[in-house]
């Protein structure tokens, strides 16, 4: 019985740890899609957040400053994506991929200039486990909570606030209307461009935070390629979760469980390279079989002056 309890504990802790960046990025992707802009740039925003999070922590000695740098960098890259779409009406797939490629080029360039390294930054100040006092005494649940850092609790708060904003406020209703029908929204006096920028900036902030979580909470350094395609998976998760923050939370935990298997089965009889492919195989299966009933906003990729 004790062995089963220990295995369950490891599975849950590892799943949560792997899910947090996916929850943040997919929630951000949901906001971008709801405003009518495809979330193709999530990978680049996560790369920017991961690198500049470490950069901020390195120059300041504080992981909180690193988080701020990560969020701001994600927003800046998202604004590039939004500006190309709203102002110049560039194909959203192309502009998103441009953001991804730019971030993938900028991070190793600065890494080489600053630290003379091709792939790894120095270790920086990062987030430790959060002391939760009496809560840690709760049987089983307390030990799981004791393994989490402050960003886990911030993530849960972001999901709740994001859901309330999206579905329970007039501003969220306007954003969803812009995503469904930008022409009609413009007709009734809604500032379509503004809400598109708000949606894509929220996406950038959360993807930047997701990237910073990877480098400042899961690790204490930046490693080139550490996002490992999670930004693309986040797009699938957002759609799978019906572009709803709560849906993104549930779907991220589902994906996080399979992502955590590479940690759980490390050193087992199962080859590691097979275990590492599981999240990507699952992504393909979800795209093929799980998205048939999912529906994106009707105005996704459309412009208000069409």
CA atoms within 13 A on the CB side of 60: 15
Question: In this structure, what CATH number is given to the domain that contains residue 107?
Answer: 1.10.3470
Domain assignment of residue 180, given as a range: 2-290
Q: Which residues pair with 223 in a beta bridge?
A: 120
Per-residue pLDDT at 142: 84
Residue 151 in any domain: the answer is yes
Residue 249 in any domain: the answer is yes
- SS3 label, residue 120: strand
Per-residue pLDDT at 272: 64
Domain count, the chain: 1
Structure-token match 């309890």, residue found: 5
Give, as one character, the DSSP assignment of residue 137: G
- SS3 label, residue 22: helix
Residue 295 in any domain: the answer is no
Per-residue pLDDT at 1: 45
Residue 304 in any domain: the answer is no
pLDDT, averaged per 10 consecutive residues of the chain (306 residues), comes to 72 90 97 95 97 97 97 97 92 93 95 90 92 76 87 96 97 95 92 96 97 95 93 92 94 86 67 74 78 80 66
Residue 297 in any domain: the answer is no
What is the C-alpha separation between 181 and 177, in angstroms, rounded? 6
Helix (H) or strand (E) holding 301: none
> Taking the model in full, what pTM does it have?
0.94
Per-residue pLDDT at 215: 96
Helix (H) or strand (E) holding 14: helix 2-34
Residue 271: C-alpha distances to residues 260, 266, 280 (Å):
15, 8, 16
Segments in 35-149 forming alpha helices (H):
42-60, 63-86, 92-115, 141-145
Residue 222 in any domain: the answer is yes
Residue 299 in any domain: the answer is no
């Amino acid at each position: 019985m004790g062995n089963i309890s220990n295995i369950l504990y490891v599975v849950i802790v590892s799943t949560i740890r792997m899910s947090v960046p996916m929850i943040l990025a997919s929630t951000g992707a949901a906001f971008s899609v709801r405003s009518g802009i495809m979330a193709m740039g999530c990978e680049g925003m996560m790369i920017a957040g991961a690198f500049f999070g470490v950069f901020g922590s390195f120059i300041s000695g504080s992981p909180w400053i690193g988080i701020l740098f990560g969020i701001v960098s994600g927003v800046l890259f998202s604004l590039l994506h939004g500006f190309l779409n709203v102002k110049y009406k560039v194909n959203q797939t192309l502009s998103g991929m441009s953001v991804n490629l730019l971030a993938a080029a900028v991070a190793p360039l600065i890494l080489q200039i600053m630290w003379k390294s091709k792939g790894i930054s120095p270790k920086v100040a990062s987030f430790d486990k959060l002391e939760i006092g009496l809560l840690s005494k709760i049987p089983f649940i307390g030990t799981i909570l004791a393994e989490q850092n402050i960003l886990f609790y911030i993530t849960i708060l972001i999901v709740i606030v994001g859901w309330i904003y999206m579905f329970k406020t007039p501003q969220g209703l306007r954003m969803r209307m812009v995503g469904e029908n930008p022409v009609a929204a413009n007709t009734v006096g809604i500032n379509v461009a503004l809400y598109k920028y708000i949606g894509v900036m929220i996406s950038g902030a959360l993807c930047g935070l997701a990237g910073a979580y990877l480098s400042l909470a899961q690790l204490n350094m930046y490693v080139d390629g550490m996002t490992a395609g999670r930004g693309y998976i986040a797009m699938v998760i957002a759609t799978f979760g019906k572009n709803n923050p709560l849906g993104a939370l549930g779907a991220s935990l589902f994906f996080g469980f399979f992502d955590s298997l590479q940690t759980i089965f490390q050193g087992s009889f199962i080859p590691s390279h097979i275990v590492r492919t599981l999240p990507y195989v699952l992504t393909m299966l979800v795209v093929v079989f799980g998205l048939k009933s999912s529906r994106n906003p009707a105005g996704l990729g459309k412009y208000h002056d069409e």
